[in-house]
Copies of this chain bind each other. A is one copy, B any other.
Amino acid sequence: MWQLFQFPLCPFSRKVRLMLGEKGVEHGLVRESPWLKRDEFIDMNPAGQTPVLVEDSKGTVLIDSNAICEYFEETIDRAPMIPGTAVNRAEVRRLVAWFDDRLYGEVVGPLIEERMKKRLISRDPPDTRVLREAMKVANNHLDYIDYLLDHRRWLAGPVLSLADLTAAAHLSVADYLGGIDWRGHKQTTDWYAVMKSRPSFRSFLGERMEVIAPPTHYDKVDFF
């Protein structure tokens, strides 16, 4: 069986978990804290990052969330997550890169740094200036998602895709860390409520990261 090396607030791990859930791939979870730089983990992935997906019986090691998602898109026909024509597929991948680079870099990464890593590792107080900026930019990202949903049923087009899974993975971590103000974003809120109610998403809602509690709406599917 596949074993996924991950930690609960890693958005890239969550993306892979959503993909595995949608594709119906059975897997176990192994908790890995990449900041500990465990030797065996670095040997497996020189980048030292989660997620890593391992199938011991076949000696297969898959690294990088997008490489993993593309692997299952290629090997499992069920529930295509990069669907449609080559142009449609390019749009899915554009948005995946947008959320992985921009939403992560501007919002989710800073929230993880300030609200999780400083709490767990360095024990420094969070930098409120950085947090304020991340939450301001989060609002711009929700505006962009509202805009996409004004023109499309799902983020990349008429059907659910890896773009939705990726956005939901990042937003779920930002939401856990109290970085999202959903007010005034009806389209995104409605879409996110649907994402939250998918079976592939459910396992996140009960998970907790030690010493960090999510806001009360975090695990409510209809969240207000």
A: residues with CB less than 8 A from B are 46-47, 60, 62-64, 66-68, 70-71, 74-75, 86-87, 89-91, 93-94, 97-98, 101-102, 144
Contact = CB atoms under 8 A, between A and B. Distances in A.
Contact of A90 (B71, B90, B91, B102): B71
8 contacts: A46-B144, A62-B94, A64-B97, A66-B93, A67-B91, A67-B93, A71-B86, A74-B89
A146 to B, nearest CB: 13
- Interface residues of A, dominant DSSP: helix
A89 to B, nearest CB: 7
B63 A89 contact: no
A102 B101 CA distance: 13
A97 B47 CA distance: 10
A105 to B, nearest CB: 10
Given A86-B74, A89-B74, A67 B47 contact: no
Given A63-B90, A67-B90, A71-B86, 14 more contacts: A46-B144, A47-B102, A63-B94, A64-B93, A64-B94, A64-B97, A64-B98, A66-B97, A67-B91, A67-B93, A70-B89, A71-B87, A71-B89, A71-B90
A62 B64 CA distance: 23
Contacts of A74: 86, 89
Contacts of A86: 71, 74-75
Contacts of A67: 90-91, 93-94, 97
Contacts of A71: 86-87, 89-90
A98 B47 contact: yes
